[in-house]
Amino acid sequence: MNISLNEVEATAKRATRGAGYSWGLAEEAAKATRWLCARGQNGTGALARLLQMVMADAPKQRAPTDLSGDWHSDELLCPLVTGALLSDCAIRVNSSAITMSNVAVPVLLLPFAANAARLLDTRVTIECDGIIAETDGLDLTLNGPIPDQAKHVSVHLGGRLANAVPHHTRAEPSPTDWSTLNRFAQNTYAPATEESRLRGAGAGLSDND
């Protein structure tokens, strides 16, 4: 499938909302998925995998409990909640590394590290169980595939940003991932009823004039 990045963003937003996240986090997920796809990464696959883990039902358990040390929780951390927090706490990266433990689908943290890099106007390195990614917000380098789940993640300043991955203008999601996202998105659409059809759009019944 060959999809525009705008379609990726729109579908990711609806899917994330449809999976039970807040609108604000759905917006983050949409931008994050698009950011990954624009750098040739399988953003749609990552989001589809995350949404199927049904983390939005208990958001508190999926977020770090204490921000003073290592970010962790009793359960796997959600990369959208934790990623948004990382972006929001970008300024902390200036003084020391942010570390976290047990993160689901950690590739989804990269766009938020990119936000941090943009806000701080610097390069940021993110290390997931030995795999190293670097970004200045725009470009991305990776020295291997980000694992499906990470035991240890560290986000700190710096990076050489040599051999950045090429930028892409289209996404090619697998049909399975794309239909997973669309299935979640469906939850945001009101069922078609005759009343809604007649009242909701407010158009005339005939346009033969």
Partner 1 sequence: MKQTSAHIPRRDPAQVMRLSRLGSLHQCRLSFMRQLTRRMARENWNFIRPVFDIDENGVGHAVYTAQAPDHAYSLVAFAHDLPPEQRSDRVIAEAWDATFALFDGIPTEQDIQRLSENVPLQEAGRVSENELSLSRANRSVRLWAHVVDRLAAGQQPDLEQIYKVGYLMRTTAVYGSGKFGAADREKTANRPELQAPFQTEMLSVYLTRTFVRDLVQHMARVKGGDQTAELAPEIGQWLGIGNSTGLGMAPFIVNHPVLFNNWIMVREEALAQVRSLPTASDSEAQQFRDIFERCKLSMSWWRSEHPIQIEKLSALNADLSAISDYLDQDDLTRYHPWERLIQWSETTLSEEGQELLASLVLEPYGDLVDGLTECMADGNAQAQIIDGAMTVAQTRALIRDRFDWALSLDWSDEANCARAWYVSEEKLEPRLGERFEEPISDFEQPLAPARDAAAAFAELSNWRDEAPIAEFLLHHPEHRHTIRRAQIGRIAPYGEIHDNTISSSVMPIDMLRAKLSFFGATHFDPRSDRWVRICMYSGAPYPEDLTTETADLWVYPELEE
| # residues contacting partner 1 (CB under 8 A) | 50
Q: Work out whether 195 is an interface residue with partner 1 (CB under 8 A).
A: yes
Nearest approach, Cβ of residue 54 and partner 1 (Å): 16
Instruction: For residue 140, give the 3-state DSSP assignment.
Output: strand
Q: Work out whether 108 is an interface residue with partner 1 (CB under 8 A).
A: no
Q: Pick from 28, 127, 134, 177: which binds partner 1 (CB under 8 A)?
A: 28
Q: Work out whether 200 is an interface residue with partner 1 (CB under 8 A).
A: yes
Q: Work out whether 179 is an interface residue with partner 1 (CB under 8 A).
A: no
Q: 175 or 204: whose CB is closer to partner 1?
A: 204
For residues 150-166, one letter each, b for 16 or more C-beta atoms within 10 angstroms of the residue's C-beta and e for the rest, the string is: beebebbbebebeeeee
Tell me how far apart the alpha carbons of residues 114 and 136 are, in angstroms, rounded to a whole number: 6
Nearest approach, Cβ of residue 38 and partner 1 (Å): 9
For residues 117 and 137, the answer to whether their CB atoms sit within 8 Å is yes
Count Cβ atoms within 10 A of the Cβ of residue 82 and give its class: 0-12 exposed, 13-18 middle, 19 or more buried.
buried
Q: Pick from 53, 89, 132, 164: which binds partner 1 (CB under 8 A)?
A: 89
Q: Work out whether 53 is an interface residue with partner 1 (CB under 8 A).
A: no
Pairing relationship of beta strands 131-135 and 124-128 according to DSSP bridges: antiparallel
Q: Work out whether 68 is an interface residue with partner 1 (CB under 8 A).
A: no
